[in-house]
């Protein structure tokens, strides 16, 4: 497995623009302080030069030092300008993303307002528009790269001689998914269709007790056995309550089964239809005592991440944290939700997100953490090892060990939950009601359903 973890703001946006501008201000301040030092050094050299010819050599040395200091000041100013330019570029990308969403929603006034802001930014820095376009183009070409690179190793085993076509084919398929926009959920999205009939059965907690102490601890709590949903109810010291919900991924590749977390629900959610897995999650939260408006922190793998995306958009709860592991979608959630997305660049399921949104989503400080989980090529790739929960739990461990300041908000969440006066934990089995199962569909290769390597989505 690869330990090379990339943490970025999202899409084309690699870092938080506020952080960039703060850093630019720091370099400006540093340049000012160094300028004061240069003035003192120059004054000292001038005085030595005026004293006598015997001090001219010392004066010349001091002047050389002063010039080097002036070069450092110029460098600091250049860095500050570059940081501001980068912030302006990322702002343009985010504004364009907002404009596309407004246009899709038919908000003509919003489109006009955003056009004016984009025009102001371009006038202030004419080079910004070109840089933003290049950044978007690099993202457009780059996000499908790893799966395309690995595709010849998979195709070789099935069709020797045709593996040379694998890279352009795999890249084109991923680009077609991105162009369709299926994996990028807009902020106004509402699932179509009525509620599904489901039964959730509460059971005892068979996992860890208390609050999670880390992101890896939280990932490990996503149900992998007979249960599908885990709900933790926290009573805080001031008497208020918060909830954490952990939602599993797809458990069977068959559609229309009694398991709400089947491939049928997977397809429904991805295409914008209401699913039994979504209704089972709502039912579990309600059974655990969560009411509309209550604070919820949501953790989900694969299909569970899709469920939680819609929970944040339309579930009626105050979803303050959304942690997605291997999600096939990216939702443009509001600024009140901290979004943490863990992706593997060689995971075909996350490729269904089509690269996600061009701009960042979620509250300030939200981020995407990505790495290559399974660099080895071969027939085993058909078992989707890069999509398994174990690999994503390892990615979470790498994040826990990261010094990236964006992890501070995540650690702060666990500290807050750890201060709860009491924690009640319930795990739920779930069953779809009144369904007529279809005949099993045979697969040309083994499809794993184990917690470690499930590739169902």
Residue range 319-333, pLDDT digits in tens: 999 999 999 999 999
- Going across the sheet that includes 422-432, the strands are 6-8, 367-371, 338-344, 318-325, 295-301, 241-247, 229-235, 422-432, 198-203
pLDDT band at 204 (very low <50, low <70, confident <90, very high): confident
* Residue 453: predicted pLDDT: 41
Q: pTM for the whole thing?
A: 0.70
* Residue 155: predicted pLDDT: 53
* Residue 318: predicted pLDDT: 98
Q: List helix spans (H) across 329-438.
A: 348-351, 389-400, 407-418
Least confident of 35-39, 129-133, 240-244, 249-253: 129-133
Q: Looking at residues 388-405, what average pLDDT do you find?
A: 95
pLDDT band at 310 (very low <50, low <70, confident <90, very high): very high
363: pLDDT strictly greater than 60: yes
> Is pLDDT larger for residue 92 or for residue 433?
433
347: pLDDT strictly greater than 70: yes
Q: Taking all residues of the chain, what is their mean pLDDT, rounded to a whole number?
A: 80
Distance, in Å, from the CA atom of 456 to the CA atom of 104, rounded to the nearest integer, reads 31
In this prediction, what percent of the chain has a pLDDT beyond 90? 43
- Please write the tens of the pLDDT for every residue from 367-391: 999 998 877 766 555 677 889 999 9
Cβ-Cβ contacts under 8 Å for 133 (sequence gap 6 or more): none
Q: Looking at residues 206-211, what average pLDDT do you find?
A: 88
> Is pLDDT larger for residue 129 or for residue 408?
408
- Please write the tens of the pLDDT for every residue from 151-161: 555 554 455 55
* Residue ranges of domains in the chain: 14-139, 181-432
Distance, in Å, from the CA atom of 101 to the CA atom of 96, rounded to the nearest integer, reads 9
- Please write the tens of the pLDDT for every residue from 273-305: 999 999 999 999 999 999 999 999 999 999 999
Whole-angstrom Cα Rg for the chain: 27
Residue 5 in tokens: 């973890």
pLDDT band at 408 (very low <50, low <70, confident <90, very high): very high
CA proximity to 152, closest of 140, 163, 161, 142: 163
* Residue 109: predicted pLDDT: 85
- Local structure of residue 196 (DSSP, 8 states): P
Q: Looking at residues 202-212, what average pLDDT do you find?
A: 89
Instruction: Round to the nearest angstrom and report the end-to-end CA distance of the chain.
Output: 21
- Measured from the Cβ of residue 412, the count of other Cβ atoms closer than 10 Å reads 11
438: pLDDT strictly greater than 60: no
- Please write the tens of the pLDDT for every residue from 11-68: 545 555 666 667 768 777 877 888 788 777 677 767 666 666 766 667 778 777 777 8
């Amino acid at each position: 497995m690869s330990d090379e973890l990339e943490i970025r703001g999202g899409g084309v946006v690699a870092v938080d623009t506020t952080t960039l501008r703060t850093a630019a201000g720091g370099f400006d301040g540093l340049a000012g302080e160094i300028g004061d030092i240069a003035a003192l050094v120059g004054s000292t050299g001038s005085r030595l030069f005026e004293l006598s010819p015997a001090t001219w050599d010392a004066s010349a040395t001091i002047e050389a030092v002063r010039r080097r200091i002036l070069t450092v000041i110029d460098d600091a100013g250049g860095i500050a300008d570059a940081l501001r330019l980068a912030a302006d570029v990322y702002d343009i990308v985010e504004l364009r993303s907002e404009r596309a969403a407004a246009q899709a929603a038919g908000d003509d006034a919003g489109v006009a307002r955003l056009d004016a802001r984009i025009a102001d930014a371009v006038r202030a820095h004419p080079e910004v528009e070109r840089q933003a376009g290049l950044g978007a183009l690099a993202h457009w070409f780059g996000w499908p790269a790893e799966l395309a690179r690995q595709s010849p190793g998979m195709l070789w085993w099935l069709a020797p001689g045709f593996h040379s076509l694998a890279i352009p084919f795999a890249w084109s398929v991923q680009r077609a998914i991105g162009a369709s926009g299926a994996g990028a959920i807009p902020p106004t999205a509402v699932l179509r269709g009525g509620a599904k009939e489901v039964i959730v059965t509460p059971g005892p907690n068979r996992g860890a007790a208390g609050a999670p102490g880390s992101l890896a601890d939280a990932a490990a709590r996503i149900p992998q056995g007979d249960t599908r949903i885990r709900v933790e109810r926290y009573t805080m010291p001031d008497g208020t309550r918060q909830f954490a919900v952990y939602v599993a991924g797809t458990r069977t590749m068959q559609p229309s089964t009694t398991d709400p977390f089947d491939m049928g629900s997977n397809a429904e959610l991805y295409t914008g239809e209401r699913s039994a897995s979504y209704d089972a999650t709502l039912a579990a939260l309600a059974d655990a005592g969560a009411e509309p408006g209550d604070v919820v922190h949501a953790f989900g793998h694969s299909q569970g991440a899709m469920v939680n995306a819609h929970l944040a958009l339309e579930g009626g709860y105050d979803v303050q944290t959304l942690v997605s592991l291997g999600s096939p979608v990216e939702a443009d959630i509001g600024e009140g939700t901290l979004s943490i997305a863990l992706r593997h660049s060689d995971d075909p399921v996350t490729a269904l997100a089509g690269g996600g949104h061009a701009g960042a989503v979620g509250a300030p400080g939200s981020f995407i953490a990505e790495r290559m989980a399974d660099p080895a090529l071969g027939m085993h790739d058909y078992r989707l090892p890069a999509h398994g929960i174990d690999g994503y739990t390892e990615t979470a461990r790498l994040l826990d060990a990261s010094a990236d300041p964006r992890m501070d908000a995540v650690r702060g969440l666990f500290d807050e939950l750890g201060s709860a006066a009491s924690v009640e934990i319930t795990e739920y089995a779930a069953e779809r009601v009144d369904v007529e199962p279809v005949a099993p569909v045979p697969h040309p290769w083994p499809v794993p359903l184990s917690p470690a390597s499930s590739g169902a989505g």
